[in-house]
Amino acid sequence: ARAMRGGRNAPGGRGEAPADHRSVGAFARPQAASAGCQSAPAAHAAIPRGRAAMQAAATAAAAAVAAAAGAVAMRLQRRRMCGRRVSPSGCRLPRDIHQVLSGQQLLPGRLIIVGDVHGCCDELRALLASVEYAKGYDNLLFVGDLVNKGPQNIEVLDLFLECGAKSVRGNHDDNVLRSYHRWRERGWQLKPEQSWIYGLKPEHVAALESLPFTLCLKEYGLLIVHAGLVPDVPLRKQDLWAMYKMRNLVHGANAGGGAGGDAHGRNGDGDRRRSGGLVPTEDPQPGEAWAAKWEGPWHVLFGHDAKRRLQLHPAATGLDSGCLYGRQLTAALLPPRPSSGVRRADGAPPTREALGLTLASVPATAVHEVPDAD
């Protein structure tokens, strides 16, 4: 009964494993043994009946355990699909998936929001020097993919912690966490290109695990996300996979490989109706860039899409200018927080001009990875 209620002894719970058919049989043996006190014919007749009862009880117990296990598995699967328990890579989620930064939580200086760094620390230091970043005064933020693939991943994390910076979680940040935990908890050997993960310190891992999927700066009317958002879907219902992997939107009927769908827990039918049937996909070929269709309510700053490089849409600005591939590292600069906000009277998201947003870039020091041919 405890197993059927999904208590501590239910399959998948934290307590002991549920009783199996052997424990049921142990309770039944005294009843079978008492048959020896009866007359011989009665005892011989009772033995088969006792065995049948034991088998029936064992079958019923096994069915109850299986039903409880199935219920627990379904609950866990639903939670995973809804993004409540683990990230798309199977990693621990941060306390706040969607983090809001109020004016009181910001430093008094500018906002400096940096595109995908990918472990390119020399370029990051050069960019911060070029914009005269003042540690402890300016707010340093990132659009995710702090690490992986580049040459100086540990150095980037050290600088991130030293500056008290903030970032959203990128798909590469999440993949690094997955590889780290597979090594530490399961003894997996990492690929040569990920050998730098062996040098992660606890504070590095804690910083990556704390990264939210979105950062909202209310006074600015800004939202930072790594990859993108599906229009007309509430933020709390945006899919985790899409927020750090999507590039394009396609209509549901045309969604092929790489597109979100119910099978992957991405944007169910209700959300698809609200979004006009649009489904997120990582593939840059079908459909259209999600940022071209974005109309608010925030102005979104994002990264991830190095193939398109810098993107300047009316309500979205893409900052991944391909530093990893030998191009540039780019940052968006915004003046100190506005006293009265920048939201328009009609509710539309603020423009770059209204925000006072400017861009700064530095060239990559090398081609750290050769981009795909496509």
Q: What angle do CA 205, 209, 213 make, to 5 degrees?
A: 145
In a domain, 79, yes or no: no
Extract the residue ranges of the chain whose pLDDT is less than 50.
1-41, 43, 68, 71-72, 74-84, 256-274, 373-374
Q: Which domain holds residue 344?
A: 98-228+290-363
pLDDT for the residue 110: 97
Per the structure, the count of domains in the chain is 1
Q: What is the DSSP string of 79-117?
A: HHHTTSSB-TTSPBPPS-SEEEE-GGGS-SS-EEEE---
- Could you tell me which of 369, 367, 364, 368 has the C-alpha nearest to residue 125? 364
- Could you tell me which of 318, 317, 300, 301 has the C-alpha nearest to residue 309? 318
In a domain, 72, yes or no: no
In a domain, 197, yes or no: yes
In a domain, 202, yes or no: yes
The total number of residues written for the chain in this structure: 374
Mean pLDDT of the chain, nearest integer: 80
In a domain, 279, yes or no: no
Q: What one-character DSSP code corresponds to residue 126?
A: H
In this structure, what is the dihedral angle of CA atoms 344, 346, 352, 354, given to the nearest 10 degrees?
-30
CATH number reported for the structural domain that contains residue 296 in this entry: 3.60.21.10
Phi and psi at residue 88, to the nearest 5°: -60, -25
Chain centroid to CA 116? 17
pLDDT for the residue 62: 64
Q: Which residues, 6+ apart, have CB-to-CB distance to 270 below 8 Å?
A: none
Q: Are the C-beta atoms of 295 and 263 separated by less than 8 Å?
A: no
Interval 105-132: pLDDT, tens: 999 999 999 999 999 999 999 999 999 9
In a domain, 26, yes or no: no
d(CA 248, CA 65): 44
pLDDT for the residue 66: 57
In a domain, 37, yes or no: no
Longest dimension (CA), the chain: 100
